[in-house]
Every structure is written in C-alpha cells, then in structure tokens.
Amino acid sequence: MRRLGFIRGVAAVAVAAVLLLPGSSFAQQTSGGSTPAFRAPTDQELTETKSGGVNWITYGGALSNQRYSTLDQINTSNVSTLRGAWLTRLGSARGSKYIFEADPLVIDGVMYIPTGNDDIFALDGKTGRKLWEYNSDIPQTNDLICCGWDNRGVASGMGMIFTGQLDGSFVALDQTTGKVMWRTQLEDYHDGYSITGATRYYDGMVFTGMSGGENGIRGRVYGLDAKTGNEVWRFYTIPGPGDIGGDTWPAPTNPDPVLAQAYTHGGGTVWQAPAIDPELGMMYFSTGNAGPDYLGQVRPGDNLFTASIVALDYKTGQYKWHFQEVHHDIWDYDAPSPVVLFDQTYNGQVRKGLSEPGKTGWVYYLDRTNGQPLIGINEVPVSQEPRMATAATQPIPNGDKFVKDCSTDPIPGFPVLGCMFDAFYDVPVVMPSSASNFSPSSFDPQTGFTYVMGGETLTGRAMKPEQFVLGKRYTGGAAVTPLDTPILNTITAMDSRTNKIAWQHELPGDRSYGVVSTAGGVLFKGQVDGNLVAYDAKTGDELWKFQTGWGISAPPMTYSIDGVQYVAVASGGNRGGNSTTDGDAVWAFSLGGTIDQVAAPPPVQTKTALSGPVVKIGQPVGRVDTQGQDKLFEGTIDTVDYAFTPTRVSIPAGTTLTWSNSGSVIHTATATNGNWDTGDITPGSSADVTFNTPGTYSYNCNPHPWMLGQIVVT
C-alpha cells in the first residue's frame, strides 16, 4: 500500500506538470514489448474485420462503423479499478475555436490522431510518446466553418495516412514519417466549403464528404484514387435536373431566379465517414440539412437527398437507394450521426441492417440491401404552413423516441409552444432542438442494443428572409433560445429488434459525443463535464467514472498492446457552455494504470442563458463560425426580423448606443426591468440610448419578446 501511494504521489506531481505543459506526456513505467511498427491495414484485413479488437484499424473500428470491440480484459467485474496509463498533451489546436472530436486509429501499437487544426500525430500507443507529427498549413482566418474547428478522424491504407482539411483540401501522408505524399484541393474554402468528417479508406480509394451546408453550398461526396489523389467519382447529394431526385427541387426553368437556382446551393452536406459493406459493394452515409436551413419557401419540394440516408456503389459512386428521414426539412432535423451496419434477426430471418439516430430523436432501422424499413415507419400528416411549403407528411418510426417530443411548460415571452415537426413562420415556435448530432452510436451484437446520445433543449424557430451570397452564411433563420430552461441529455440503449428503449439515463448538461461497447460487457462514454464513464452495457448501471480535466467531445475507443487492453479518448473542452484555451489532451487507461483523475473543469451549463461573444467597440461582429467578421462594431446594433446583432456588447460608461431597424416591422429595445426604452423604431429608422452607469443590462423587443440582447457597461 505504501508503494502504491508513493507511485500515485509521484504520478500526481508528474501529471500536474503535464497539465501545464503543452506538447508533453506522462506514462506509467512499462517494460518489455515490441517496438511500434508503422503498418497500414490491407484491403483483405479491412474486409474481414467485423469489429474492433487488438487494433482499431479504421474509423469506428471497422467498415461497419459499429464502434464495438471484441476485447474483454476490461469487463464489468474489474472496470472500477481502471486508471490512467498515460496522458499526452499534443500542443496543437489550443484555443476556444477548436473542438477535439477525433476517433484515433491504433494499428500494431501506433496511434494516429488528428486535432481541430488538422495537425496529425503518431503516438506510441503504450506510452503516448510522439513518434511524428504533421503540422497543417490551413488558413487561420475562416469564419465559415461549422460547428467549431474539428477533424473527426483519419484513415490508413497503402502505407499512407489520409485526411480532409478545413480549407477544402485533402492530403495523404507517409505513414512512417508524416511527410506529405500528395495533396488535392477539392474546393475553395472562401466559398463556404470545408471538410470536418472522418475519412474512410478501402480498396485503393479514399472517401470523403464536404461540409458547409449553412453556407449555401451544394453537398457532395468524393471517391479519390488513394495513390494519386485524383478524383475517381463525385456524387452530388443535391441532384440536378434529370437526375434521380432532381424533381424534388424547383426546376431551373422556374421564372423566379431564386427558385431556379435553389438546387445549386441546397445543402445536404456529409459530416462523417461512410460505412462500407464489401460483400454488397455498397457504401452508406447520411446527410445534412437543406439550404437555407429554415427558409422553406425558396425550395418547395421534398429536397432530396437532404436529411437522408444514401447508398452508393463504392467503386463508381452510382446511386443505389435512399431513405429520407425528414421531407423538406425546415427545422434543421438532419442526420449528421454516422450510419451503422449490423446483422439482426427479424421474424426469424437474419437481415442485413443499418441504423442512424437522427436529430428527430428516432433511430431509423433499415435493410441495407434496399433501404426498406426493418421496423415499421409510417407517413404521418403534420401541421402545415403554406408560406413555408411544408411537406404534407413525415416518416414516423414505430417504437420509442430517445428524447422528449414537445415543449409543454409555459415560457415567458414565447406565446407559441409546439412539438417536433410543427410548422412555423415569422413568430418563433418553441420546440425541441436537435436530439442526436455528430455523436457516433454503437451497436453491441451481445445485447442487440444500439447506444445513442440525445440532447434535450428547447429552441424557438422562425424564418428570416435572406438572400444567397457566395461565401456567406445562408440559413434563413431567426431561431432563438428561451432563457433559463433546462439543458439535459440522454444516453439510451435502443433494442434493435423492436426500436424500444431497453434502458435510459437523463442527465444535466449538453449531450455526449460518442460511445464504444465491448465484449467485456462495458459501454464507455465521454461527457462534456470531463468525465469518462463506464456503464454495464446490458443494464445501464454506472460502474466507473474518471475526471480527465477537459470536457470530452470525442468518442472513446479501445485497443490492445502486448496483451494489455487500453481505453483511449481525446479530451479538449469547448463544450457544455465552457470555453477552453488549452484543450489538447489524449488519455489512455488500463487496469494496471497508476495515474489518478485530475481536477475538473468549470461546471457545465445546465440552464440556457444568453450566449455568444461579448463584442467591444472596434471588434468584429460575429464569432469564429458565423458570418460578419468583415464588419466592425462601432456602436450600432442592427435590429432585424428577429434578432439584435451583435446580441451582447461591452461599452465604456458614457457611451451612446444606436439601434438601427433594418427589418420590415416595428421593433423596440426595452430594458427587462423597465428602466429604459427606445420606443418604437420603425423600419429604416433608429433610436439612441446613453449608458452612464456601469452594470449589466438585459433587454428585449416589446412586440417580439423573444428578441434578446445584453449590454455590459464598464
């Protein structure tokens, strides 16, 4: 016991030093073992690997995206003794604009992991020691990236490491040295394109989607020659005239030029690595929202293939089938979570299944050979708003949702409460926000459960007229968040045979961003409060928890070296309402680990509050992932239908602020406590208020109380 205490005491001092030093690492003492080798998986290995095991050779552990491992050294009986084996600080992507969402690869003892700056590291999987690093040269000024600067994972094949980059380029690195082998510029980031999703390699090709749906781009997926980077095929997720699905968009001959061009910037981007079934020769992915997100009247029709699951011939990019989760999406209820392939018995017959947890809060279970539902999905009539060209019906799966469906409790300032799929126009309707998001789910063949993460927050959705401008945001929305309402999340085991909840936990704070299940009966989940948590995969009982020091936005994974099973996770913060400037940590855990947990980051946000940056005089309007950085705040708050821009400002005492109404209806700026009021500001006019006393002042618009603002006087 004394010896253990001494080790942990030394470890505590060493870890404290690592916490303060970027680019450093600390590991428990190890002996023996082989020298790490740089090896890429063969196509045969990728074909035959059905789950993660000793290696984690591709994103999600296998081409199926199952996030399941056959390792069982760590199990329900001993997981409570898990401790840190090593902690490495990468010294990359240290800033509030970055999100550390990477799913590392581990191949023969070497870990490959990217950061939010598209820097890539090869680490010794036993010690965390850096073996090589690639520093990207991506531009550091880019205000069109959604939703945080991130890279969800790299791919390995043919002796190379492949990755997409935020500037719209795609690179291949020598797997032994990290040196660039080739680079292909797929699109121009100035036009709103970026690559944030993980990359997939298979059969001499690499596959990637393009992000940027909030910027009015036309979604697409690429198949590239892995040897050269040359484009082999391209599939547009927004079909053109004459293509399958092209008739779900306004015709290019439409006399209205806005409608005629709708499909050319219709969104439908792809945020994640596709899954591949080598036997069927098909690849599968899910797609993002239509563009503009909330302005349905400029794109009447179902808007294929947005908010959909799509299957292609992976060799040619030829369309095979699709299933649309949301017709004519005006709610941002799209499908950014990776699809998962699995086999399951239905009515006594083994079927080739596919699942995807949507932002709608349902899991969609389909036959991956043809896209037909494995469990019933019914077209159900929904509320209508002709001015938004709403779809008459929406596909509703049989079974349970993994989040709540409606907003029911009265909220001051918001007269209209609604449920998912309720229509809206210019008055915000408060309803559930997105349920799932980028969070990758896991399928456990032992339990038959799909483990999904959900968010339970409310948002007020309304449309705002907006014109498309190349290289600018294009959402057409005036969504607002009701203040002081709960922020909750769920972790749910959905039975893949019935689409019913097997077990569920509802927790405070923002959702988690990925899980991994194991043959040891353990489910690991990272949380935005910094805890890595282990559950009994069958019952949902919490078995273990470890504080990593930064919020976790990445999915955990597991691997084995020299007979020792490790669980690893990236820990980088910038979730849950906290801003982090030093989130660059990678943790690995084992049963023989000696590193104890560290101090927790600040508590996560559990109730909604007015968010966004506090903008000072002379600073850019907007933030890293919104348009507006080309405009400086000089004391005028733009008052539009229906938002104040900037929302939060800081000014010296004695400053006069001006509210300028560029909207089409009357607005006001009225103090919440009633101490000051601009009076009616008609369209095209303005009003001034001088602030002499330091303090924080909250205000709203009297006719439209969901319009909120804040002034900090110093």
Domain-terminating residue out of 556, 590, 624: 590
Token couple for 602: 């600040």
Q: Same domain, yes or no, for 554 and 675?
A: no
Q: Same domain, yes or no, for 359 and 485?
A: yes
**Structural domain contains residue 279:** yes
Q: How far is CA 192 from the centre of its chain?
A: 17
Average pLDDT over residues 131-155: 91
Number of domain units in the chain: 2
Q: Same domain, yes or no, for 106 and 221?
A: yes
pLDDT tens digits for range 627-637: 334 578 999 99
Residue 426: its pLDDT value, please? Answer: 87
Residues 308, 325 contacting (CB under 8 angstroms) = yes
Q: Which helix (H) or strand (E) holds 559?
A: strand 557-561
Dihedrals phi, psi of 556, to nearest 5 degrees:
-70, 160
Average pLDDT over residues 140-168: 93
Residue 630: its pLDDT value, please? Answer: 55
When pLDDT is cut at 50, 70 and 90, the band that residue 611 belongs to is confident
From the candidates 119, 167, 293, 332, give the one annotated as an active-site residue. Answer: 332
Residue 672: its pLDDT value, please? Answer: 81
**Structural domain contains residue 184:** yes
Q: Same domain, yes or no, for 245 and 369?
A: yes
Domain-terminating residue out of 557, 590, 623: 590
Does the annotation mark 332 as catalytic?
yes
Residue 28: its pLDDT value, please? Answer: 57
Average pLDDT over residues 580-601: 95
| Strand 319-324 relative to strand 308-313, pairing | antiparallel
**Structural domain contains residue 638:** yes
When pLDDT is cut at 50, 70 and 90, the band that residue 481 belongs to is confident
Q: Same domain, yes or no, for 505 and 541?
A: yes
When pLDDT is cut at 50, 70 and 90, the band that residue 19 belongs to is low
pLDDT tens digits for range 321-333: 999 999 999 999 9
Residues 456, 304 contacting (CB under 8 angstroms) = no
When pLDDT is cut at 50, 70 and 90, the band that residue 6 belongs to is very low
**Structural domain contains residue 29:** no
Bridge-partner residues for 121, per DSSP?
113, 133
Q: How far is CA 458 from the centre of its chain?
A: 18
Average pLDDT over residues 160-166: 97
pLDDT tens digits for range 407-427: 989 988 888 999 999 999 988
Q: Flag whether pLDDT at 525 surpasses 90.
A: yes
Rounded to two decimals, the pTM is 0.92
Q: Same domain, yes or no, for 657 and 537?
A: no
Q: Flag whether pLDDT at 626 surpasses 80.
A: no
Residue 446: its pLDDT value, please? Answer: 98
Task: State the average pLDDT for the chain.
Answer: 92
Residues 291, 264 contacting (CB under 8 angstroms) = no
Side chain identity, residue 344: Q
Residue 31: its pLDDT value, please? Answer: 43
SS3 string of 131-154? EEEECCCCCCCCCCCCCCECCCCC
Q: Same domain, yes or no, for 530 and 631?
A: no
Percent of the chain with pLDDT over 70: 94
**Structural domain contains residue 609:** no
Q: How would you label 524-551 residue by residue, b for 16+ Cβ within 10 Å and e otherwise?
A: bbbbbbbbbbbbbbbebeebbebbbbbb
Residue 22: its pLDDT value, please? Answer: 63
Instruction: Please classify residue 346 by burial: count the beta carbons closer than 10 Å to its beta carbon, then call 0-12 exposed, 13-18 middle and 19+ buried.
Output: middle
**Structural domain contains residue 263:** yes
User: In angstroms, rounded to a whole number, what is the distance separating the alpha carbons of residues 647 and 96?
Assistant: 19
Alpha carbon distances (Å) from 624 to 187, 238, 612, 614? 20, 27, 10, 13
Q: Which carries the bigger pLDDT value, residue 609 or residue 301?
A: 301
User: In angstroms, rounded to a whole number, what is the distance separating the alpha carbons of residues 150 and 154?
Assistant: 12
When pLDDT is cut at 50, 70 and 90, the band that residue 27 belongs to is low
Q: Which helix (H) or strand (E) holds 659?
A: strand 655-661
CATH number at residue 675: 2.60.40.420
Residue 10: its pLDDT value, please? Answer: 42
Q: Flag whether pLDDT at 34 surpasses 70.
A: no
Average pLDDT over residues 596-607: 94
Taking alpha carbons only, the member of 161, 208, 131, 128 closest to residue 57 is: 161
Residue 362: its pLDDT value, please? Answer: 98
Domain-terminating residue out of 590, 623, 642: 590
Taking alpha carbons only, the member of 545, 533, 551 closest to residue 600 is: 551
Q: Same domain, yes or no, for 235 and 326?
A: yes
When pLDDT is cut at 50, 70 and 90, the band that residue 3 belongs to is very low
**Structural domain contains residue 605:** no
**Structural domain contains residue 631:** yes
Alpha carbon distances (Å) from 549 to 66, 468, 553, 579? 28, 42, 13, 13
Dihedrals phi, psi of 258, to nearest 5 degrees:
-65, -45
Q: Same domain, yes or no, for 665 and 525?
A: no
Average pLDDT over residues 38-45: 97
Residue 23: its pLDDT value, please? Answer: 66
Q: Flag whether pLDDT at 675 surpasses 60.
A: yes
Q: Which helix (H) or strand (E) holds 711?
A: strand 708-713
Residue 664: its pLDDT value, please? Answer: 81
Residues 282, 314 contacting (CB under 8 angstroms) = yes
Q: Same domain, yes or no, for 556 and 647?
A: no
CATH number at residue 109: 2.140.10.10
When pLDDT is cut at 50, 70 and 90, the band that residue 624 belongs to is very low
Average pLDDT over residues 164-181: 97
Q: Same domain, yes or no, for 129 and 252?
A: yes
Residue 24: its pLDDT value, please? Answer: 65
Domain span at residue 649 reads 614-713
Q: Same domain, yes or no, for 122 and 247?
A: yes
